[in-house]
Structures are given as structure tokens and as C-alpha cells.
Amino acid sequence: MKTIVTDVLVIGGGLAGLRLGVGAKRRGHDVTLLSLVPPKRSHSAAAQGGMQASLANVIKGQGIPKTFILKTPCAAATGGPTRMWCACL
């Protein structure tokens, strides 16, 4: 059995897990992410179309950059959002 030493262990590769991992990495921590499925098959990626429905209310109130919205396709099948999130790691 292989032993891995890490500062932060994230269990789950959905949006919350990826966000936690990115935040910890930006703060200089060594991050290991465990997921049962590849990132393109996480529940967050599969639900991408449904999550975008709420962005109309959030863009004005929270200032989500339009460039992010334009790069995020409506269909999760394209794999676009997953590539964008994984590039942060």
C-alpha cells in the first residue's frame, strides 16, 4: 500500500471539492483530491445546465465576470466547465 502525505485531503471532485482544493492550493498547501469518478462525471458536471439557471440572479448581485459565463457552455456534455475548473488545479 502506498502512503501519501498531504496538507489538505479533499474527498469529492464536484464543484465544492474543486473550489476547496483550488483555494487551499492558492494559499500554498499541498492538495490531494479523491473522487470516485473522473471530474467530467462528477455530479456537478452532470448538473451543469441546471446550475446555470440560477446565474441570472447572481451575475448582477455578485459580479460574476461575463467572460466566465461566456466560456461556460450550457451543455455539460461539451466538457468545457470541467476543463476550466481542472486547469485551476
pLDDT at 78 over 60: no
| 80 lies in some domain | yes
The H or E element spanning position 16 is: helix 15-26
CB atoms within 10 A of CB 56: 9
pLDDT at 12: 86
Q: How far is CA 50 from CA 15, 25, 36, 83, in A?
A: 13, 28, 22, 18
Query: Per-residue pLDDT tens for 6-52?
Result: 999 999 888 888 888 889 999 999 999 988 887 667 766 666 555 55
Query: Per-residue pLDDT tens for 45-63?
Result: 666 555 554 555 554 545 5
Helix (H, G, I), strand (E, B) or coil at 51: helix
Domain count of the fold of the chain = 1
Query: C-alpha grid cell for residue 66?
Result: 461575463
pLDDT at 76 over 70: no
- Tell me the sheet residues that pair with 11: 34
| 2 lies in some domain | no
pLDDT at 8: 94
Give the range of the structural domain holding residue 17, as residue numbers without chain letter: 8-88
pLDDT at 38: 76
| 1 lies in some domain | no
